[in-house]
Structure 1
Amino acid sequence: MKHKIKRVPFLLSLIILFFACGRKETKFPAETFYMPAEWETHEAVWLGWEKDSTQRFYPSIGKIITTLKPHVAVKIAFDNDSLKQTAITKLIELGVDTTGIKMYVMPGERYWIRDHGAAFLVNGKGELAVADFSWDSYGLPGFLDLKYEGNKDSINAAWNKNLVFRLKTGSVDSLMAVAEGAKIIKTQVIHEGGAIEVNGKGTLILCEATVFQRNPTLSRETIESEFKRVLGVSNIIWMKEGLADDPHHFFRRISGNYIGGGTGGHTDEFVRFANPTTILLAWVDEAEKDLDPISRMNYERMNENYEILQNAKDQDGKPFTIIKVPLPDLITQEVVVREALKKDGFTFDVKAESFIPSEAVQVGDTLLRVPAASYFNYLVTNGLVLLPSYTAMGSSKEKEEAVREIFEEQFPGRKIVFFEGLMQNWYGGGIHCSTQQQPKRITN
């Protein structure tokens, strides 16, 4: 009996050692800059601002700021001081307490600050850095090549329009870095922040549709090497395509009379990490796949992505848990193709000249415009998850309740806040695209 008593601690120690080794996680050297996961503590959340005569974003911006302020510092960037003063007046009109909001003038600033703004990094020495990706207005050269069917003069003329402002927009991330005393890590890779999805441990999810469209002259090996260098990751998972209702640029014929516009496959529309070992994936059930062409396309695309994720491993060679999150019911708006639109008024209608020749529409056509509506364009910050709601537009309440339950389970201890942000969806973005987190500096 004595021998058995003496051996129990030894056996227990072996078991503990075995499981401890099994749970061993990758740790970054103190000097290595890397991108923390979004659920880690934030020092601030940034927003962009621009003239909003036609898009009607202001009420949603006001709600985002009011919701964030009790939990995290809010910072807003503006293209110029005049716009900053106008914004202060507008926010006060919306009932927003502007006390404590830090405001910056950064020439070239646009609304979608996550995409062109700073992708913040940290290291274990308490330092902050920014991954400075190149910017080409969401792969605009490739879209122009399609629109003008390779005609160099037309392409150059369209590219040079607003070029000065576009170049300034490409420098906003550097200006944010300077404002925060952060190191700037530049790369030739063209990429947007809405297409960066990391687990904070070394794994990055990318989408082939956007990455290769933006970087047609770079090899996969070069692209992977650069992402690893600037984001501090060691493992990359490649998705094939994003959602059908997030097509590349404005406007695109998605299928038949369904049209829309967007980024061409940003990850923050369809695939997100919930924690280092769990991935959320947008999903269309078998019973819904034939309701409309968009659902059918999303069903096929997400099934292909699901197979990829099932076979994927994390940075330590371990499989992921994959959770399917329903997409909202399809939302459409009947629109008319016009020869010209009012310059200073809101309309869902579209111009015939906005389409590429292979997807041409005719003046007078009636089409169905589709927003980039998804529960995945959410923001996780200190004590909060901000999620879009679609029940007011007729989407299933049962479906949205199922989404709530998933998020409550995956983000315990955080308040789940739903609010309507469809106006951003009509322009290819959402809550996540409208914000950019600045992580708290850490010290190992």
Structure 2
Amino acid sequence: MNNLEYKELDYKDFRFPGEFEPQEAVILGWPEMAECVKGYSLHQAFAQLIKIIVEQANDVTVYVNCPKEEMVTSCKKALAEEKVDIEKVKITTYPDGSNWTRDYGPDMMVDDRGNKILANPRFNMYGQSTIDSTTSQLCARFAPHLALEMGYRDFVNSTLITEGGDKEFNGNGVLMTLRDTEVTKRNPHMSTEEVEKELKRLFNVKKVIWFEKGVFDDELTTSGVLDYVDGEPVYRSSSANGHIDEFCRFVDTNTIILAEVTDEEAATMNSHRITKERLDAAYEILNNSTDAAGQPFKILRMPIPEPFYVHTKKGDWINDTWTCRYSEGGDYLDDGTPMPHGDMVMQPALSYCNFLILNNIVIAQSYWEEGRPESIKELDKQALAVLQEAFPDRKIVPFVSTALNIRGGGVHCATKNIPISAK
């Protein structure tokens, strides 16, 4: 539709579809760094993910954005090595500021007449920068650019700072999100009531379900030590600083997958104990909530992955950038522990809930590889079984996501769904 046609449309007719609804495209951003830690190829992982989408997902156009012209070569090389049919990939070259398209890619809303409109909020690099910084500006321009690239010209703008990974929609008037992220960390100048009012206006939802905080693993990297293992500190490799898609997802208009920490797991690690408290609180909120029509939700519980760690050294991208990104904070982390330097043990952003829903498949994060404990394989099987129960008509495709998780995101974070609007 063009702007003249839009004058005849009522914006209130638009809605944000659930990700389980039909889609026409998926967008990924190609990472500039080849690997974050030696031995974990980010380029190979992205190419393998793209291969699954190209070969197994029905009726979706795959867009891959290379922020620099010279990155097209590395992208095509990695795709060729994985034997991806390059003719089925549309490569764009817009100067993106990151490669997590879920968070600042096009939030396309639809009506029942075949129209789309872009919901266009602001972005500030996960609360770690300002909306006017170079990187924030590059990311903020990405959604309008891609929307125009796909032929959609109409936008509804907002000054609200928010990210795609912290919003879950059921497609029928309900939005789930985190108060600590949307209010405290991203819009501290606004009250919860003001943020909720703007979320309802921007996305045309009737109801917002608020959780207080996300999983402890997904706190800001500089918040402190994640755990002590054998007396040594373990740090988060990177994080989104509070996103709901790490632990809670809509799988249809009335069914929700929520991560679960067992009592046994909570007794083994401090991070598990804290996360269990937050997930138990989230369960109580959901158990006492209803959809926009007043119907209760069906809640499926998802296991959490068994923690494993990567040992990083100087020269690893994730190690070299860990402290320099946050040097303004001085010599101490937020929990009072010393800022680490040199070799570091890090936990990737592990999650079974960061899956990608496509028209006929669900791409699931998995973690077992040769040499890892059999207990990880068993948890992978349990997670796949939950997804198969949630999506009985879709094929569940496992994908070893460690390289993406080291970078702080995952399969869902790396992709942006573009819905089909009914006619």
- What's the TM-score, normalizing by structure 1? 0.82
Cα RMSD for the two superposed structures: 2.3
How far apart are the structure 2 equivalents of 1:48 and 1:117? 9
Q: Give secondary structure in 2 for the equivalent of 1:99.
A: helix
Match of 2:180? 209
**Which runs of 5 or more residues in structure 2 are unaligned?**
1-9
Seen in structure 2, the aligned counterparts of structure 1 residues 136 and 318 have a Cα distance that, compared at 3 Å, is same
- Please state how far the C-alpha of 1:85 moved relative to its aligned partner: 3.8
1:64 partner amino acid: L
Seq. identity, %:
29
Match of 1:50? 31
How far apart are the structure 1 equivalents of 2:96 and 2:73? 17
Matched, 1:129 2:117: yes
Q: What do residues 349-376 of structure 1 show as CA deviations (whole Å, max 9, x unaligned)?
A: 7755547434442566775422110001
Match of 1:225? 197
Whether the 8 Å CA contact 1:352–1:360 is kept in 2: the answer is: no
Match of 2:147? 177
Seen in structure 2, the aligned counterparts of structure 1 residues 250 and 76 have a Cα distance that, compared at 3 Å, is farther
1:73 partner amino acid: T
Whether the 8 Å CA contact 2:177–2:208 is kept in 1: the answer is: yes
Seen in structure 2, the aligned counterparts of structure 1 residues 308 and 113 have a Cα distance that, compared at 3 Å, is same
Whether the 8 Å CA contact 1:258–1:367 is kept in 2: the answer is: yes
1:258 partner amino acid: V
Matched, 1:318 2:290: no
2:235 partner amino acid: I
How far apart are the structure 2 equivalents of 1:138 and 1:306? 25
- Please state how far the C-alpha of 1:176 moved relative to its aligned partner: 1.2
- Please state how far the C-alpha of 1:103 moved relative to its aligned partner: 1.9
Aligned residues: 391
User: Larger deviation: 186-195 or 354-363?
Assistant: 354-363
How far apart are the structure 1 equivalents of 2:323 and 2:93? 36
1:167 partner amino acid: Q
Whether the 8 Å CA contact 2:129–2:136 is kept in 1: the answer is: no
Moved over 6 A (4+): none
Q: What do residues 219-278 of structure 1 show as CA deviations (whole Å, max 9, x unaligned)?
A: 222211211122121111001111111112457423452321312220110000121111
Seen in structure 2, the aligned counterparts of structure 1 residues 419 and 203 have a Cα distance that, compared at 3 Å, is same
User: Larger deviation: 76-85 or 130-139?
Assistant: 76-85
Seen in structure 2, the aligned counterparts of structure 1 residues 369 and 180 have a Cα distance that, compared at 3 Å, is same
Match of 1:87 among 71, 75, 83: 75
How far apart are the structure 2 equivalents of 1:86 and 1:396? 32
- Please state how far the C-alpha of 1:132 moved relative to its aligned partner: 0.9
**Which runs of 5 or more residues in structure 1 are unaligned?**
1-28, 143-158
Whether the 8 Å CA contact 1:379–1:387 is kept in 2: the answer is: yes
How far apart are the structure 2 equivalents of 1:50 and 1:194? 18
Q: What do residues 7-32 of structure 1 show as CA deviations (whole Å, max 9, x unaligned)?
A: xxxxxxxxxxxxxxxxxxxxxx8961
Matched, 1:399 2:379: yes
Matched, 1:102 2:77: no
How far apart are the structure 1 equivalents of 2:367 and 2:402? 8
Whether the 8 Å CA contact 1:36–1:200 is kept in 2: the answer is: yes
- Please state how far the C-alpha of 1:325 moved relative to its aligned partner: 0.7
Whether the 8 Å CA contact 2:101–2:415 is kept in 1: the answer is: yes
Q: Determine which structure has more spread, i.e. the larger CA radius of gyration.
A: 1
- What's the TM-score, normalizing by structure 2? 0.86
- Please state how far the C-alpha of 1:436 moved relative to its aligned partner: 0.5
Q: What do residues 128-163 of structure 1 show as CA deviations (whole Å, max 9, x unaligned)?
A: 111111010000149xxxxxxxxxxxxxxxx98xx3
Match of 2:105? 117
Q: What do residues 269-315 of structure 1 show as CA deviations (whole Å, max 9, x unaligned)?
A: 00001211111111111122111111111111111111111111111
Match of 2:273? 296
How far apart are the structure 1 equivalents of 2:214 and 2:340? 30
How far apart are the structure 2 equivalents of 1:251 and 1:96? 40
How far apart are the structure 1 equivalents of 2:322 and 2:71? 28
Whether the 8 Å CA contact 1:209–1:264 is kept in 2: the answer is: no
- Please state how far the C-alpha of 1:50 moved relative to its aligned partner: 3.0
- Please state how far the C-alpha of 1:44 moved relative to its aligned partner: 0.9
Seen in structure 2, the aligned counterparts of structure 1 residues 237 and 362 have a Cα distance that, compared at 3 Å, is closer
Q: Give secondary structure in 2 for the equivalent of 1:396.
A: helix
Whether the 8 Å CA contact 1:128–1:181 is kept in 2: the answer is: no
- Please state how far the C-alpha of 1:100 moved relative to its aligned partner: 2.3
Matched, 1:164 2:140: no
How far apart are the structure 2 equivalents of 1:247 and 1:406? 26
Matched, 1:245 2:214: no
- Please state how far the C-alpha of 1:346 moved relative to its aligned partner: 4.9
How far apart are the structure 1 equivalents of 2:146 and 2:242? 26
Seen in structure 2, the aligned counterparts of structure 1 residues 347 and 34 have a Cα distance that, compared at 3 Å, is closer
2:259 partner amino acid: A
Whether the 8 Å CA contact 2:172–2:292 is kept in 1: the answer is: yes
Match of 1:154? none
Match of 2:22 among 41, 56, 72: 41
